[in-house]
Amino acid sequence: MTRPRGRRFVARLLLAAGVVALLGVGRSLAHGGSLGSNAGRALAVPTWLFLSTGGAVVGASFLLSSFATDRTFLRQVHGWRRSVPVPNAGRLATAARAVGLAGLALVLVAGFAGPTEPLRNAAVLLVWAGWWAGLAMSAYLLGNAWPVVNPFRTLARGLPSFDRKLPVPSGWVATVGLLGLIWLEVVSPLADAPRLLATVVLAYAAVALTGAVVFGDRYFTEYDPVSRVFRLYGAVAPLEYDDGLRLRIPGSGLETDFLEGSGGVAFVVALLWGTTFDGLVATPPWATFTRVAVDAGIPPLVLYPLALAVGFVAFLGAYLLAVRYGARLADTYRDPAALSRRFAPSLLAIAAGYHVAHYLGYFLSLTPALAGALLDPLSPGQAYRLVVPGWFGGLSLAFVLLGHLLAVWVAHAVAYELFPSRLQAVRSQYGLTLVMVFYTMTSLWIVSRPYAAPPYL
């Protein structure tokens, strides 16, 4: 079992149909509705047009959002909160911790003793379909439950702590950790080899528990890359926990100033780049590029981490440049570092959109297999896959675009909070909008490539 490569289940044709439908171009829709062998040919949108349409949707949504100029309205939308009463919160938390611990135990037992076929192995299914697809999706679609469910944190509660602090900013430590995890996930068959997966989980547990002993609970709130990913996804969600559960409009959590310095910004960019890189390495152009680079003498062992690092630096540089460019256009005395901190959370909406586009179909198709493996972890029966209908591909394109639209809207609201003049606020987003248009086109390009196994792994 391999992890989803977007392009595998996303038919190019359906992507094009999605874009066309979004723009409401009647002529093409009429063609799409016709049956028979020429229906596909009628919708063979050339790549350049398909990509620029995606870019134009984001650009046009920026223009549309600039019509929302009523500060009171914006403040009401983004400040709206309702508290949600939770009966028996203490017992619920205990139950969630127990579920987390049971999950960890199951992953270890099934990983080492279960069947080796990935589709029948409870460890593989629970980690990839249940946790990394299902729980991560719930983190931005509902609310972040990981701080309670996290079994490592539950285990660490019983451990002593030295409560130390590292002399380097925690955001950068977490960024390096996240890039390391992405590298590991890309180059190793973690989704196909249950024994290896269980070993990695054990190693991660050792790191997490050591971290908790040395740094205390700060390890999970600041240093641990996984917890940070969930926390950032949770910022997109409609539910937040802050001395009680509260409901808010999705995305409005991204307008608060919650990132800590340049490390926090770097982590957000690394998260976005990680998803992109994961998709990029499975495209035919990457395979061609890798073969050329290896022929030129770069060992594959160096090539992958190097590409990961170079791409990260390029993404971070592009983002910081865009913010600086916007600051110059807005003619402001605000600190560029503060501006990059305030606008970075809007990228999380894009990351969430990209994640749901990748993993919703994957999660749904594996749900029966996951249920089967959970019922009988050591000797599960036949693994069933749910067949996801073809139009699902168009849906995942819509999610990619929705993420970008939310990001544009969040950046708009943040700019209104930062600048006294509304035109200044609009100008401050020109650079960022350009970057978002470029990024939409890149991710649509990746999503629409056919799958090619990454070479030399």
Partner 1 sequence: MTSTQTADAEPPNAAGEESDADGTAPFACPYCDREFARADYRDLHLGLEHADALSPAERSAYETARDAEEEALTLFRYKAVGLLIVIYFGFLMLYAVSL
Residue ranges in contact with partner 1 by CB under 8 A:
20, 23, 25, 27-28, 31, 42-46, 49, 53, 56, 59-60, 63-64, 66-67, 69, 71, 327-329, 331-337, 419-424, 426
**How many residues in the chain?**
457
Nearest approach in angstroms of CB 217 to partner 1 is: 32
When the beta carbons of 20 and 356 are compared against partner 1, the nearer one is 20
Cα gap 366→27, rounded to integer Å: 37
When the beta carbons of 57 and 254 are compared against partner 1, the nearer one is 57
In order of 153, 319, 341, 357, 384, the CA distances from 226 in angstroms are: 12, 23, 20, 20, 30
Nearest approach in angstroms of CB 328 to partner 1 is: 6
Looking up tokens 């901190």 gives: 341
Cα gap 227→43, rounded to integer Å: 43
When the beta carbons of 262 and 367 are compared against partner 1, the nearer one is 262
- Per-residue HEC secondary structure of 299-327 comes to CHHHHHHHHHHHHHHHHHHHHHHHHHHHH
In degrees and rounded to multiples of 5, residue 15 shows phi and psi of -60, -50
In order of 126, 188, 435, the CA distances from 410 in angstroms are: 33, 36, 15
When the beta carbons of 64 and 302 are compared against partner 1, the nearer one is 64
Q: Name every residue whose Cβ is closer than 8 Å to that of residue 228 and which is 6 or more positions away in sequence.
A: 174, 178, 222, 267
In order of 24, 81, 220, 449, 451, the CA distances from 35 in angstroms are: 20, 48, 54, 25, 27
Nearest approach in angstroms of CB 66 to partner 1 is: 6
Looking up tokens 């995942």 gives: 396
Nearest approach in angstroms of CB 324 to partner 1 is: 8
Cα gap 267→365, rounded to integer Å: 31
Cα gap 266→35, rounded to integer Å: 49
Asked if 267 and 351 touch (Cβ cutoff 8 Å), the reply is no
When the beta carbons of 23 and 452 are compared against partner 1, the nearer one is 23
When the beta carbons of 136 and 401 are compared against partner 1, the nearer one is 401
When the beta carbons of 54 and 151 are compared against partner 1, the nearer one is 54
Nearest approach in angstroms of CB 49 to partner 1 is: 6
81: part of which helix (H) or strand (E)? Answer: strand 81-84
Looking up tokens 């620029």 gives: 52
Nearest approach in angstroms of CB 423 to partner 1 is: 5
When the beta carbons of 5 and 404 are compared against partner 1, the nearer one is 404
Q: Which of 320, 326, 321 is nearest to 426 (CA)?
A: 326
When the beta carbons of 162 and 333 are compared against partner 1, the nearer one is 333
Nearest approach in angstroms of CB 248 to partner 1 is: 23
Asked if 229 and 273 touch (Cβ cutoff 8 Å), the reply is no
Nearest approach in angstroms of CB 313 to partner 1 is: 21
Q: What are the tokens at 191?
A: 């989704």
Nearest approach in angstroms of CB 38 to partner 1 is: 12
Angle at 356 between CA 199 and CA 55, to 5 degrees: 130
Nearest approach in angstroms of CB 334 to partner 1 is: 7
Q: What are the tokens at 229?
A: 């990913």
Angle at 98 between CA 213 and CA 205, to 5 degrees: 35
Burial zone of 160 (CB within 10 Å; 0-12 exposed, 13-18 middle, 19+ buried): exposed
Looking up tokens 């999610």 gives: 399
When the beta carbons of 212 and 436 are compared against partner 1, the nearer one is 436
Nearest approach in angstroms of CB 43 to partner 1 is: 8
When the beta carbons of 270 and 339 are compared against partner 1, the nearer one is 339
